[in-house]
Amino acid sequence: MSLNFFKLFFFSWLFFLNNYYGYACQCPLTTLGIEECNKYEIIFKGKVVSVTTCDNKFGTAVFEIEELYKGNASKQFTVLYECGVECAMEFNEGEEWVIYSNYKQVDKALMNWCSRSRKFFKNAKEDFYTTTYGNDYYDELKFLRQNLGLHRFLVLKPSTTENRNARPTTNQTILMLLISLTAIILFYWLFKKYFKF
């Protein structure tokens, strides 16, 4: 009886672990088309310039956009991505991607790992997106160019108000305090001298 109980316990435990750790990435299948492109606010092809590792669940990848198909973006654009979630992948410097995303902020997008975003593989046999999406990388670029066209980049103009919220240095703070204290003492002295009660 105890041997059967041990076997039952062992196989139940094994079944539980398999179910707990056995889930693979499962994203809904999509087909390339205008309807699919309408789900996203920004679509572009670009190379990863820099990657910041995950802090507080999010990492950032800065892209140099080569072709902008939809949305507004400057030549360099930041994409936030979630780490440690199902279907999460890694961005590496120098990789070329086609990104389908939605804006998180005006100048940043939030990557959805189940979007149509795909990485370029030099070896076509390694490109698992071709099997998943039903078209290769070059067919996707051709579709985007023909149906969405190429858009112009936003030109960043230097802001004259960018340093308004800058904190003063220690020397500037001490100088402001001394000037303020001198002004208060001078005002107090003048008030006492000319206005006696």
pTM over cut 0.85? no
The reported pLDDT for the residue numbered 19 is: 46
**Sign of the torsion angle spanned by Cα atoms 85, 68, 62, 129:** positive
Query: Which of 86-90, 113-117, 147-151, 168-172 shows the lowest mean pLDDT across its residues?
Result: 86-90
Q: What is the pLDDT of residues 49-77, one digit of tens each?
A: 999 887 777 889 999 999 999 999 999 99
Nearest to 81 by CA among 73, 68, 91: 91
Give the mean pLDDT of 18-24: 50
Mean pLDDT value of segment 165-171: 79
Residue 107 confidence (pLDDT): 83
| DSSP symbol at 151 | B
Residue 190 has pLDDT above 60, yes or no: yes
Q: Is 87 helix (H, G, I), strand (E, B) or coil?
A: coil
Tokens of 87: 């279907």
C-alpha 135/C-alpha 144 separation (Å) is 12
The beta strands (E) that lie in the chain are given as 42-55, 58-70, 76-82, 96-105, 108-111, 118-119
What distance in Å separates the CA atoms of residue 40 and residue 171, rounded to the nearest whole number?
49
54: CB partners within 8 A, 6+ apart: 83, 84
Domain ranges (residues) in the chain: 34-147
CATH fold for domain 34-147: OB fold (Dihydrolipoamide Acetyltransferase, E2P) (2.40.50)
Return all residues near 5 (Cβ < 8 A) that are at least 6 apart.
Answer: none
Which pLDDT band holds residue 165 (cuts at 50, 70, 90)?
low
Residue 45: beta bridge partners? 67, 98
Between these two residues, 14 and 106, which has the higher pLDDT value? 106
R_g over Cα of the chain = 29
Say yes or no to pLDDT of 84 above 60.
Answer: yes
pLDDT at 20 over 50: no
- Average pLDDT value for residue range 36-40: 92
43, 70 Cβ separation under 8 angstroms: yes
pLDDT of 42 over the 80 cut: yes
**Are the C-beta atoms of residues 148 and 122 closer than 8 Å to each other?**
no
Measured in Å, how far apart are the chain's first and last C-alpha atoms?
Answer: 104
pLDDT at 35 over 70: yes
Average pLDDT over residues 161-170: 71
- Percent of the chain predicted with pLDDT > 90: 40
